[in-house]
Amino acid sequence: MSKPAGLQSLLALIFFNRLSLVIFYSFWFLIGLLVLRKSQNALEAVRYVKAHSASVSLDSLEGSTEFRQLLEEDFPRPPAFFLLNQYALNMTDNFLCNTATLAGAHERFVFVTLDEVARKRIRSRWPRIRVFHWPTPSLYKPFSFAEGAYQTIYLLRSNLALALIKKGKSFWMMQQDTFWRKNIFDLNYEDNMSYDAIFDQLGNGDNSLRKEWVNGANWFIRANNETQFFFEKLSEKLAHWYTPDVGVMIHQCNTWDKPTCAFIPYNVTYSWEWMFSDQSNPPYLLQLDCETNGGTKLMQLGRYGFHFVNPDGTCNNEKISSAKSRMENGTVEVQISKNLPSWGRLQFKLYWYITEYLLWIPVLGEYLRPYLALAGFILMITI
């Protein structure tokens, strides 16, 4: 005998109500687990930085023979510093193949090698590149975004910046997960005295709510009292807070009168988001991060046509020329990745969506603008 229609409706209603409650409580249980996991990771990261901060401290840099020898180097123009351990060597080779095609670029580079493997490889493979060897056992292993070692390497970068500024040395800080279509040094940003520091910026164009938020991959600093204070405070916060260095930079640039911060236009430097736009106005420099998709970052870049090292270790200049042409023609192929986004890109797209929504809220968004990025590590509960 079939059940009356009214009873069936009641049972269905009870079922869906219970299912809704199960989904609701499961969702918040999952969020709770992610929050607990993030809290544990945050505490471990801060402990890691505190345990190893002496090896990357300002005092250790300033008191070292290696740093004194670095200052004795002849730099007609401000040098550009890159940091790496042995696990970034393949990406570094790829980057140096790319930039070897640009006149005068390598003469500006200084590679800060954090282990002996990296030092020997750069010395043998690229003998004309200057090396500042700073062996740092806490940075010998691979590490990921928001981990303790990740924070430690940016504390080292900040203290190195501070040490250079105190000696009156202006400089660039750069990252090698970047494709150079043209030479940014040709634009002579160092000669513009209207600012004390100029940074690349986040966002996806001049209408982005993240415009004039520091991206942190490529920036120039002029040595003076204002920038010295800027990096003193940055290093102090990185040594004790669980926060991204760019979050601190964003806060200080947006709330301090000095130093004067400026931002490199999007048609000169752009993040990975350019590849997923209409690909107009190709930048000089394209940062190629957030893309792993189950393999190494370099494997993913190879799918886009940005892998330039032959199996025998030589540089493939034809591929470099082809990559430049595809950027200029707006034909960088990313269709597969649009349909199957990597976990890294999926997470960052989600967090950028949430960030832009918060910044969009009238009044509140403007209030949050200088402070929101400070909580970047904490808010990214899936990382």
Question: Is 22 inside a domain boundary?
Answer: no
336 falls in which pLDDT band (50, 70, 90)? low
For β-strands 197-201 and 285-287, DSSP reports them as unpaired
Structural domain span for residue 121: 52-263
pLDDT at 295 over 50: no
> What average pLDDT does this structure show over 268-276?
88
In this prediction, residue 293 carries a pLDDT of 44
In this prediction, residue 80 carries a pLDDT of 98
Say if CB 101 and CB 183 are below 8 A apart: no
Phi and psi (nearest 5°) for 112?
A: -90, 105
Say if CB 329 and CB 118 are below 8 A apart: no
Question: Is 349 inside a domain boundary?
Answer: no
pLDDT at 58 over 60: yes
Question: Is 279 inside a domain boundary?
Answer: no
Domain count, the chain: 1
Q: In Å, how far from its chain's centre is CA 137?
A: 22
Judge residue 147's burial from the number of C-beta atoms within 10 Å of its C-beta, 0-12 exposed, 13-18 middle, 19 or more buried: middle
Question: Is 149 inside a domain boundary?
Answer: yes
pLDDT at 249 over 60: yes
Identity of residue 376: G
In this prediction, residue 15 carries a pLDDT of 73
- 295 DSSP assignment: S
CATH number of the domain encompassing residue 241 = 3.90.550.10
Question: Is 82 inside a domain boundary?
Answer: yes
- Each residue of 144-167: pLDDT tens digit? 777 889 999 999 999 999 999 999
The count of residues in the chain is 383
pLDDT at 363 over 70: yes
Q: How far apart are CA 383 and CA 381, in angstroms?
A: 6
Percent of the chain scoring above 90 in pLDDT: 60
> What average pLDDT does this structure show over 186-215?
92
Q: How far apart are CA 143 and CA 44, in angstroms?
A: 13
18 falls in which pLDDT band (50, 70, 90)? confident
Say if CB 164 and CB 223 are below 8 A apart: yes
Tokens of 342: 């990597």
pLDDT at 339 over 60: no
DSSP 26-89: HHHHHHHHHHHHHHHHHHHHHHHHHHHGGGG-HHHHHT-HHHHHHHTS--SS--EEEEE-GGGH
Highest mean pLDDT among 194-203, 269-278, 363-372: 194-203
Say if CB 232 and CB 181 are below 8 A apart: no
Question: Is 318 inside a domain boundary?
Answer: no
Identity of residue 285: L
Nearest residue to 318 via CA among 16, 41, 19, 101: 101
CA-CA-CA-CA dihedral for 286, 292, 297, 301, to nearest 10: -50
Question: Is 66 inside a domain boundary?
Answer: yes
Strands of the 285-287 sheet, one edge to the other: 178-180, 285-287, 269-270
> What average pLDDT does this structure show over 23-33?
75
DSSP H helices, 126-190, are 148-166
Residue holding tokens 């890294």? 344
User: Quick count: other Cβ atoms within 10 Å of Cβ 201?
Assistant: 23
Say if CB 101 and CB 320 are below 8 A apart: yes
Phi and psi (nearest 5°) for 372?
A: -60, -40
- Each residue of 182-195: pLDDT tens digit? 999 999 999 999 99
In this prediction, residue 6 carries a pLDDT of 66
- Each residue of 77-126: pLDDT tens digit? 999 999 999 999 999 999 999 999 999 999 999 999 999 999 999 999 99
Question: Is 299 inside a domain boundary?
Answer: no
